[in-house]
Chain A
């Protein structure tokens, strides 16, 4: 007991003596909590890197309203308790002005709730849960990424134009998988009432072998399949599709199948003919803004930007743009200015809807195909679906938040 007492005293003294963050008192701090270990890092690194590029530009021009911007990142290792602790450390100890993150939906929801209590603006950069700006939305949270409701509506619109009638749904058995499948299917039924669901297959996240599921689906002989996989399983599923020739037998739709992060690791061995939606391609649209963005990113980081880079870019433009407009570092004025604000981006003009704080990003639907000059597949026959067309109505948001 005595020794324990000594340890406690030593610990308490150490904690008290640990210096407060020894940074310049006047710095404007932005904290990012995200998963930088393991598979999700492939997506999250781009967000941070593109954001930092913009921060460097702002600092070179004198900072934001005279204050230098500092970016602090914390790795949540995809664990919610670690991420939540890190977010609290950033707010309580580092006193960040803005918080950003994360790809993990449970963590995003937890941090969103905390930011509501602490009145710190939180920009969600990758989590696709519709609850963030929907049922659990509030004044202090913003989303600059698409979510399952938007992606579902866009996917349905694209699929409705195709001749398929009998569908099968397959995917990861967790919230994201079910949400995106529901999003696509419910909207598809509304647009095209004749479609029929033959059956469903759900596998665990991180499933090592998809062959048994693929054979089960092939036996059922649907016209098309809606594949609802999360970031982790997109690549393995596409691999299994190629290995079993699935994509040549039955067409399937997978959200993010056409993204660079999904297709690059597979190289030229990715399956062709896969229908996918994505928020960004570095090769389309071939506007000056996009080309400029790609060039700058590649010059610094030596790789082509994937969709995360656009999210990082957008976050920066909204944050710094709104403070400039407000003219003062004040949270409430900042929020008032972000609402309804539009920014120019590599995908065109993007507006932040005032009611639910959801950025209205366009969706691009395409089909995977080999192309000359690339050692990975790209999307062809790209159709642009404007963000405004796929947003849930304000009535729907109101109803969701009432519950």
Chain B
């Protein structure tokens, strides 16, 4: 019995060819297969290529059959359809405008017309920085005319970017009919479906979109929507059991908006280019029409990406249109509000103290840092349809954890052409990418310095390793200038306790030599140059102390830090020496990571915002993400070190080494982390560094 080609699982051309060749070696008929010029070698090529081609094709075809591995959008959509998932369409940017129309005296020469109409489909032109966009009115608007002034005012009318188009079908039950809208840029949310008994009939039913079979009967005027090939959407009408079945000869008309999506966000300076007519049928000249932009265009989003479909479809399927678990809430909110950059839901029982019977949902929009109240209320009401009865829903703004990594990267300068700066840029890009990939799932609830370290290590083959430590930042925000306030910041993670390193152990005789909580610079009411000068001379600053000539004195820039024994102190720098202005302006709970500031009176901040940054140094490299917190990596500091040139040893943690990691750099300032210089602000762009 002869050997048979045995490499049946190979996807490599040469392995396949070798497999056939090794089979021929067991035969005596032909011997020349080893020589490239032989006819046998040519035949082997053909056989191997054919096998390779078939195997590749089978592999790709099978990959496309599963949601996990499919890459072609049409295939992903088809698999998602089995999970009853319809991908989000492109969404038109919406703006609000007020249109004031000055009418002319009517034909009787005495009175103004009664009202003014603007028709459905009439357009506005608006500008962005780069381009002009057309916005369309989706419904006819009528405004009554003020008989004193002759002005008709259309207040805050919503307009949508794109063109209002119509497509129609006549129902023909003798053949299989596909109600496909022939455009790939349809905003399905702005779509209106009309059905009338015939093309001439004035009797019109509006059909609504159904997303589940619940509560449908044979008379429900509904349609289902699904994405089909080439980004088109298809309407599926009822079959007479679930939804009304269309009858032969009925006329289906679809009004839809074809839009360019997010490109038109930010459009403003609207100009009306349609036709306004008064109640007497006269067209009003464009010079008599004034358009005021009330709300700049926003909320335009691109169509759902294949990656997003792969992520959302199975998750939405698990919710089964019911919000029961925290994940259900997150997935449904993503569906209801696709503009969300991140959604975090958590039960009130996870709070301290617990609040039972409530679910909190922290939503961060794509633009800006918080949702407006209208959207919050709308979301809250929409969620009622999914939530379990008796469970209250609160939509809140997310609390942000600013994760501030500082990394020293060792690399072999002989293995790369990049200089130190280029390498740092490359690493920053990788960190940036890591950050943007993790915004949707908040790093799975944990931020691991080792994961971040691996991202840094993999940035370039020349990198041999890195030492990375992270600090955590939040802003003090609950204050008004000139008023005394108290605020606690919960960092949710244990902090290094400087007292443990003080020599005498916890509560020991030696004073701690470093600080793990630092605030940015600000000006505190009452702490003036006059006071500081006097205190420095006498060696004592009274606490709390106020200058008698407060109003004539200049305030000194101050910072907060902890004293290493659980108290917050107020300090300033005078002649390169730290001066303690107040030794009790709050407390630090190192075990639970809670920093309480106050009572304190902030007079001013350098950037005039009501924000003072506070940075802490958490113990260990693994950080927990507490409920309702939205972490983001901010301003990473990357310091590449070519170990072939300079052999610098960086300690992983040595609070008493002032030249080491995360220290202020050799001065006499007590430092574990530097004082933050800027307030923290959530990066608006994905590429934030």
Is A bound to B?
no
B-contacting residues of A (Cβ < 8 Å)? none
